[in-house]
Chains A and B, each alone.
Chain A
Amino acid sequence: MAKLNSYSTGPDETGHFGIFGGQFVAETLMPLILELDAAYEESKNDPEFAKELSGLLKHYVGRESPLYFAERLTEHYGGAKIYLKREDLNHTGAHKINNCMGQILLARQMGKKRIIAETGAGQHGVATATVAARFGLECVVYMGETDIERQKPNVFRMKLLGAKVVPVKSGARTLKDAMNEALRDWVTNVEDTFYIIGTVAGPHPYPQLVRDFQCVIGEETRRQLMEAEGRLPDTLLACIGGGSNAMGLFHPFLDDETVDIIGVEAAGHGIETGQHAASISGGRPGVLHGNRTYLLQDDDGQILEAHSISAGLDYPGIGPEHSWLSDVGRVKYVSATDTEALEAFQLCCKLEGIIPALESAHALAYLEKLAPDLPKDHIIVINLSGRGDKDIFTVADALGVEL
């Protein structure tokens, strides 16, 4: 494949990354999306906006997050040196708040009074409810009924934070359906509502703006590793549902040729079973939720239900920039099954004293295939995108433990 001069300049002026991305929404939403794009472009050139965001990230979110040398995981695999980017230590326990903080400042700048969001595992819902509470804005979170059942602690957190959690009863009652319902809300409440999308998907400019707000992860990693090791990493590893934590880590390194970049999708019960959430490994390009990207779909173009033990990865699509990075060969996309993620989850608890999110455990799971055969001076950075307190019920259930 021909190499490009740069992999980090997208999207183009029409919101596309190659054939991916775009603005596939109902006409009712189109003027709102154009308004958002204009407001976002304006904020990029506003030093006050940047100053306020960085102040909030430092004093409220708790950035920067540590880049931690995982000594015992490194010893365990006996190969490459493993670092964990500790996004689990952010306020609300995951990387999601980086993006929410950026978007709520945009909402305020645009004079919007009402915030809506979709959520799968509940991490984005909690992060959205948190920033809405912080800025005194009304907040409505759409969440599939199935997810409400498997993520009860997060549902209660959102309610404590003053958000209204609306159960979504359509489709498989998971993240995809929550996103449909949030879009229906937005189509209905066009005047006063700001939709905080939680991942690098949706119509342009969302994939770009969510990425930009998450890039703080990769920028810090670059600086921190330079301090610790005096050089760039050799390999970056992150889990991918929609792909916002991965894009945040990857993007600042896309033009560093020596850095191998690997995204880990959720293989559920195994790609061959059809019960998975690996859009790139097991899907093909299609159009859903405002963008063209790799999707799980049948021969007729009907969207298939995804499956993953991790509610945050349980989505039949992926951010359009990831689809493009896969097609041009810059990022390699692999997958880890439910079982592999569960094993890695337990290993990280036992060896490092860190309970990782089940989502992040998918990235950790790939270490077994990657780390042992690499030399000891090879540096891997994994995005530990969230903490796993929310997942203990799911994990107990999978291990046959009654709480």
Chain B
Amino acid sequence: MSETRIDRRFKALKAEGRAAFVTYVMAGDPNFETALEIIKGLPDAGADIIEVGLPFTDPMADGPAIQQAGLRSLGAGMTLKKTLELVAAFRQTDDETPIVLMGYYNPIYSHGVDAFLRDAKAAGVDGMIVVDLPSEEDKELCLPARQAGLNFIRLATPTTDAARLPKVLANSSGFLYYVSIAGTTGAAAPSPRDVANALTRIRKTTDLPIAVGFGLRTGAQAAEIAKIAEGAVVGTALVEQVALGNSDEDKVKRVLDLAREISAGIRSVKKT
């Protein structure tokens, strides 16, 4: 596979000696224009990689905050096509920051896998995380995505044991997303020590950069993770700011303010 924006970003950060700040926001939440404002503002607020949530009616691995974000977005008329338009609009002003689509398989399957890969690539998407496609279903999307030059980023979890890990890693690229707790998004915070032990185990099998997520809410928590991983992912806490804001402007401001705070935490950790 040729180098993607994701590969370049992790390489640059390694040279810089710090971990990546990976942000997650829901496409079209609370509406297309405001979501675009948020995504455009994230790189300046310190985001190194942006995960864009592809809304789905039945997000079985998400907690209440991201469930509600998805429903707000669908309620405002968001679709897969418009999600790709959002990415394309972002790309007009930013050709560097990697964009990863994160969601569930059915909207992609419904659009058609080949058409999706073509359209996603054209829009400027770099990779994807599809929660309900484990390695058992690699033929569906993972292998075609690789073929199309897009990173298929896999989740590893506390239940992924040493015997299973090579299978999970086999066709993944870009980075590995380590889900730090058994649970849904936005659940309890992980214990840094458990995460460190898990990462030590995983590194025996892969050289891919590892980003850790699920349950990170603050700059301090993200800094703990930045010491031991190549990236820290924050989603639910940012998405909650969209719900809390009392106007579209306020929503944008709240998300970006929190992103700046978390980014400062991650940037405070220097690695040799």
Contact = CB atoms under 8 A, between A and B. Distances in A.
Interface of A: 14, 22-32, 170-171, 176-177, 180, 183-184, 187-190, 286-290, 292, 295, 297, 299-303
B218 interface: no
B111 interface: yes
Contact of A184 (B61, B79, B80, B157): B61
Contact of B56 (A14, A170, A187, A302): A302
Interface string B156-183: 1111110010001000000000010011
13 contacts: A27-B155, A27-B157, A30-B160, A31-B159, A170-B64, A177-B58, A184-B63, A184-B184, A188-B187, A287-B104, A290-B132, A297-B106, A301-B106
A187 B156 CA distance: 13
B61 A301 contact: no
Contacts of A297: 106, 110
* Binding site secondary structure of chain A: mixed
B187 A28 contact: no
A170 B109 contact: no
B105 A187 contact: no
Among A190, A288, A299, A302, the most chain B Cβ lie within 10 Å of the Cβ of A302
Contacts of A171: 57-58
A195 B145 CA distance: 33
A187 B155 CA distance: 13
Contacts of A28: 61, 155, 157-159, 179, 182-183
A59 to B, nearest CB: 38
B149 interface: no
A20 to B, nearest CB: 13
A34 to B, nearest CB: 8
* Binding site secondary structure of chain B: loop
Among A24, A180, A303, the most chain B Cβ lie within 10 Å of the Cβ of A24
B265 interface: no
A22 B184 CA distance: 22
Interface string B57-83: 111111110010000001000011100
Contacts of A14: 136
B41 interface: no
Given A286-B110, A302-B56, A27 B184 contact: no
